A and B are shown apart, each in its own frame.
Chain A
Amino acid sequence: MTHWLIMPVVLPALLAPFIILAARYHMGIQRVFSVAGILAMIAIAIGLAAQTSDGMVMLYQLGDWAAPFGIVLVGDRLSTMMLLLMTVLALFVLLYAIGSKWDERGRHFHVLFQFQVMGLAGAFLTGDLFNLFVFFEVLLIASYGLMIHAGGNARLRAGVQYVLFNLLGSTLFLFALGALYAETGTLNMADLSQRVQMIGADETVGIRVASVLLILVFAIKAAVVPLHFWLPSSYAEAPPPVAALFAIMTKVGAYAIIRVYTLIFPVDLEVTAGLHDTWLLPVALLSLAVGSVGVLAAKKLDRLVAFAVISSMGMVMVAIALFTEESFASALYYIVHSTLAAAALFLIVDLVRQSRGHLRLVTDAPVAGAALIAGLFMVSAIGIAGLPPLSGFLGKLMILNAAFDGSPAVWVWAVVLGSSLITIVGFSRAGSVLFWKAESDGAPVPEAGRAAPSILSFIAVGGLLALIVAHTVFAGPIYAYTNKTAAQLFNPDVYISTVLDTQGKLSTAKPDDKEGDH
């Protein structure tokens, strides 16, 4: 058994205490170790992704206890892909936080950052639902600290809302887990997927309640529309590098829905029939529409980007709710794109704030160095709005193509195209107010006390945009890979047999193959 699979959890878990104990007064050492840790995690994530790319499912049994009794970590194509995406995003966010000196404006940024990365890695790798809850809490409690990093009254107020909403979400998660355990007697995902199949047709009340509660919890995380109210103010008020890192947090909700509703409650399961097409698809279309209207209506740039995140999550959820192999492949492609684009936009928001001093969408005198920021803004706005030539366009095209054969095709096409148009209008309005109309508003003001953004900040933003370009250029191979990932998700037999049939050293063999006489 290889131990690499647990390294993405163990490494930040060791690094964070080291940073806080040994280097708490030395920002330089903290930065070096933080970046080195993330680089090591990227290397590990690449290694894991390479190992699982042939369809192998990696299994790590903690304490060598066999599956339904011990906790397992499982790495398949989806987990390792999300892990790689998360670590790469974390690197650029960290570089930006260092370049813009956001990490110096409060205490313990790097510690909380490492714990956040640990929670995210654990959530992607775990094969146990209660463990998923625990890792959700790890990433949430680190995000509470990051969210109110550098303080300020508005940030604290938004922080209270964010924490309270997530506390309610966690409580709901526990209710769902309790219901699930009461019905099946296990919380291991592979074991659950077998036991849910065995539930008789007339005893499905409890399991249906559990499945709906679970999708509610994940929808809160993914900010699907009736449950999105926590997102705009917390993402707008959070420090920009933190908001950029949070771009992956909504994807954790999407990941959890993909994992649980392919493995435990697959689409052909009688019990949960109708959950995807009757419920998830309409709310996904709704969040797409509400998000883009929010983009058009926002009065401040940070809120505008937050609503763009809701809209792109709606897009992801539409693709998930279609629930075919093809739509899942395009959903995964779009998840990568929307994470990178949203993160880049949040960082650009901070660049705008630094050069302008505020984020209200009103004309203001131009500032020096706005041309580069305007260019970056345009590229990432094109990305998130889904205009050609960037990967957002390709992703939307794939999703529309996947929706073409199904019955709700008219609705999907109408809402996706309409909301894309509104998003484009919203972003062009913001861009022209911020950068073009500024020229007509008098002479440039001297930048009193405002330092120009550092080179490292631009490198971080440029790096994210370069990744989007690469995501576009290599769309063919990446789509082929997400197709294989979706195929693996729809045939979870290898996953289940790997988890359940691997014997642990410490546990005894199964009774039926130990002795034949009982």
Chain B
Amino acid sequence: MELLVASAIGVLTAGGLYMVMRQRTFPVILGVSLLTYAVNVFLFASGRLTPGAPPILSDATTYTDPLPQALVLTAIVISFGMTAVVVMIALGAYLGTDDDHVDDQPDNGEDAT
């Protein structure tokens, strides 16, 4: 299971990084989303993978670390909200300039004022 989770994080990160390096906003936003999925799984795994154990101290000898789960929950909410914000801003920029490049185009936006 460790191998499966580790390679899932690796594949998600690699895919995300590849997408982030594209030039247009849509693939870049998809790439950022993939990266946030990767980091969520990574955070979850940072408390060690313990299948079938309760996330609470009890009489049982094994338990799952509950703190990474709380961290992941926070991280999911934040990344979800941030992705929504960036989609809205990117949409506004695209509709305004009819151009969805992420990088600065030459002679574009020079005379903004």
Contacts and interface: CB of A to CB of B under 8 A. Distances in A.
A395 to B, nearest CB: 32
Contacts of A164: 20, 25, 28-29, 32, 86, 102
Contacts of B43: 174, 177-178, 181
Contacts of B92: 148, 151, 156
Nearest to B105: A157
25 contacts: A130-B74, A141-B82, A151-B92, A153-B109, A158-B109, A160-B90, A160-B102, A161-B104, A163-B82, A163-B85, A163-B89, A164-B25, A167-B79, A170-B79, A170-B82, A171-B32, A174-B43, A175-B42, A177-B71, A178-B43, A178-B46, A179-B46, A182-B47, A233-B104, A357-B113
A237 interface: yes
Contacts of A160: 25, 86, 89-90, 93, 102
Identify whether the interface residues of A are mostly helix, strand, loop, or mixed: helix
Identify whether the interface residues of B are mostly helix, strand, loop, or mixed: helix
B111 interface: yes
Interface of A: 130, 134, 137, 140-141, 144, 148, 151-161, 163-164, 167-168, 170-171, 174-175, 177-179, 181-182, 185, 233, 237, 300, 353, 357-360
Nearest to B75: A174
Contacts of A179: 46
Contacts, number: 111
A152 B89 contact: no
B93 A157 contact: yes
B81 interface: yes
A358 B111 CA distance: 8
B53 interface: no
- 6 nearest CB pairs, A to B: A154-B112, A156-B93, A182-B46, A153-B96, A178-B46, A154-B109
Contacts of A168: 20, 32, 35
Interface of B: 20, 25, 28-29, 32, 35-36, 39, 42-43, 45-48, 65, 67-68, 71, 74-75, 78-79, 81-83, 85-86, 89-90, 92-93, 96-97, 102-104, 109-113
A234 to B, nearest CB: 11
B86 A157 contact: no
Contact of B85 (A141, A161, A181, A233): A141
A137 B78 contact: yes
A181 B97 contact: no
A412 B32 CA distance: 38
Contacts of A163: 82, 85-86, 89
A153 B86 contact: no
Contacts of B74: 130, 134
Given A164-B25, A170-B78, A233-B104, 5 more contacts: A160-B90, A170-B82, A171-B36, A175-B42, A358-B113
